[in-house]
Amino acid sequence: MDFTQKIINLIKKAQEVNCAISLSTTIAIAQEYRDITDHPELIDKVLSLILVYDKQKKNIDRLSSRESQIFNLIGMGFTTKVIAKILKISEATVSTHRKNIIKKLQISGVGQLKNVALRYHQE
């Protein structure tokens, strides 16, 4: 049995026992894999995405309860007007919360906010 098959078998065994590995372990495995792959640039991109996701997740945890509500409603596809009606607040207040969310998540604008919220909501 070659190394590739051994690695695959180990991963399958871990799945069978519902083994969850930490983010730091995931990164360490990816870094080791990078050294033996024919396409290290792909692993670099994956690692970059993992780190961006982790940073955004930590920032999402910093949102206030109202910001979290609005973030989740954005993730469900609701507009500012509809969010205002649902939460019984003004559209201006929703817009203010959106701006604060954008700052806290360190993203650049409403379009990116919608994308991040949609991805987060789909998890």
Neighbours of 113 (CB within 10 A): 20
Tens digits of per-residue pLDDT, 3-42?
Answer: 888 888 988 998 899 988 888 888 888 888 888 899 999 9
Distances (CA, A) of 50 to 40, 73, 85, 87: 15, 24, 36, 33
Q: Give me the torsion for CA of 110, 113, 115, 116, rounded to 10°.
A: 170
Q: Which amino acid is at 48?
A: S
The better pLDDT of the pair 51, 115 is held by: 115
Residue 52 has pLDDT above 80, yes or no: no
Mean pLDDT score of the chain: 88
- What are the residues whose beta carbons fall under 8 Å from the beta carbon of 28, sequence distance 6 or more? none
Q: Which domains does the chain have, with CATH numbers?
A: 1-61 (no CATH), 64-123 (1.10.10.10)
pTM of the entire predicted model: 0.60
